[in-house]
Amino acid sequence: MRLLFFLLICQCAINSINAYSASSPSVILLMADDLGIGDLGCYGNRTLRTRNIDRLAEEGVTLTQHIAASPLCTPSRAAFLTGRYPIRSGMAAFSRVGVFLFSASSGGLPSEEITFSKLLKERGYATALIGKWHLGMNCERSNDFCHHPLSHGFDYFYGLTVTNLRDCKPGQGSVFLKGVQKSSVIPLQITGITLVSLALVHYIGLLRVPFRALGYCFLIATISLVVLIFFFYHFRHLNCFLMRDHQIIQQPLSYENLTQRLTKEAVQFVERNTDAQFLLVLSYLHVHTALYASKNFRGKSKHGLYGDAVEEMDWSVGQILDVLDKYNLSDKTLVYFTSDQGAHVEEISSSGEVHGGYNGIYKGGKSTNWEGGIRVPGLLRWPGVIQAGAYLDEPTSNMDIFPTIVKLAEAQLPSDRIIDGHDLMPLLQGKVAQSNHEFLFHYCNAYLNAVRWHPGNSESVWKVFFFTPNFSPEDSNGCYDSHVCFCHGRFITWHDPPLLFDLSRDPEEKVPLTPKTERRFYEILRIIHLAIENHTRSLHAVPNQLSWDNLLWKPWLQLCCSSLFQSCYCDHDSERNLLEVNLG
């Protein structure tokens, strides 16, 4: 009897441990930047070596229709963290620029938004973000950190608050120069002609212009030009820096062994929390330009510097998986790998080398809602809980990570707002066969661009486009003349009736359907328009975080680890690494 009682107690304890680990795992979220779905071996690539990322596919589930909530970095990452379309949080732009470009901008992810990191932190998880943030930093003062990762539920931050840009790496060109030249030439010409004309008519006596007014106009124009020149001349120092928590530790950013440093920080975070539940978001700078790779990977791939960067990132993923194995954490940890959007196909270096990725069979790329811009890798591994080697061809979204991990952590989903993502676990565990995403709404900045409909009684996945970007050159697969595609005006073509595709038969979006080729053409449009009406009614006006006022550089918000007179220079990160080597 005592033996039976003892066995029952042991069984209950085992069940309790299993139930706990199956419901409250640690979570590692790995996000690449601008990675094409066709760049990975598990999605069909046969020339790039991605054995560690492919291992996630072999030991977990591969999502073949995993959709980014936006084809641009900032709004996609806002949706990922909140489980909500970026239009709901004001993280979708009505202007041409749809992302943050400067560290001293005042826009960012609003403090009212609830991130999965906040909810998991409340449940006792240790939380860290390593790498790229790109969701703002300050609001009114240079030290209020209202948009900073530590204000959104992360205990620890090591990385960049903005993004990796060509301007951050000497010799890699500029993403601004062409645009600044185009947009500033006419205003400068108008200002110059106006000042010269006023001085001339004043001199010959046709019009009396107060000398003081002329002086003020000249002074304002000169100061504006000097500030503009100063900012872009010092862009790298002012915007490309590395932070640990609230402190700048390297300004400007050094690319030397950068992926190794990010990986080391991530591995050390796991090692500090082997006896606790943790959330780690490792947000890679790879493979956004400026491209870079360390000495061990440079020149080793078959696809130039881009391929080197992909293979270095794959090495980093392997390091994360190895540390989980080392501490017997693999079975207790949900690992997810994705990209924030599709590959940036227009990225070509000044020497003509392709610096953008491969989106497989899919049309378009970053900044467009063609499948190449939003269909991204989606890999999830949790040994013993998620079936290994499985494929899911149902529509899923990067917004689904929010409710999935919040429920696994046994936290409460917010009841005061709409969460657009859906819990993936029933789908991943085979408890249901169809995604809860009957409709997905694809925004180009703040403009509804396309809608995807997957009827419950059909294998069809209908996709409707209301407007499409004008590719340049016309016969190309992107907007090479402007570097990215834009969302309004002369950059797009409206369609009436809208373009209709069935992605289950035409995933490459080659041949739009017509009333002649699809008998349900108008019925499909009618149902989609009803879904749009319901969706639109659920939206509420919120402050626009990507307005011009919130996007522009504000000198009083600029962080500098030394002083402007010292060109905002410091390198505490290298000093710390050197000290660790000497002590080691």
Catalytic residues: 73, 134
User: 130 burial class (0-12, 13-18, 19+ CB within 10 angstroms)?
Assistant: buried
Tell how far CA 415 is from the center of its chain: 26
Do residues 558 and 142 lie in contact, with contact meaning Cβ atoms separated by under 8 Å? yes
DSSP 413: P
Do residues 422 and 435 lie in contact, with contact meaning Cβ atoms separated by under 8 Å? yes
Phi, psi of 501 (to 5 degrees): -130, 150
> Measured between alpha carbons, how far is residue 534 from residues 14, 215, 265, 303, 581 in Å?
47, 57, 45, 46, 59
Residue that has been written with the tokens 């330009």 in this structure = 289
Strands 26-32 and 278-283: parallel
CA distance 232 to 229: 5
Tell how far CA 294 is from the center of its chain: 23
CA distance 240 to 238: 6
Among residues 318, 323, 287, the alpha carbon closest in space to that of 305 is found at: 287
Q: How many CA atoms lie within 13 A of 378 on its CB side?
A: 25
Strands 156-160 and 242-244: antiparallel
Do residues 168 and 252 lie in contact, with contact meaning Cβ atoms separated by under 8 Å? yes
Q: For the CA atoms of the chain, what is the radius of gyration? A: 26
- Contacts of 569 by beta carbon, 8 Å cutoff, 6+ apart: 237, 251, 252, 561, 562
Among residues 375, 562, 548, the alpha carbon closest in space to that of 463 is found at: 375
**What's the one-letter identity of residue 163?**
T
- How many residues does this entry show for the chain? 584
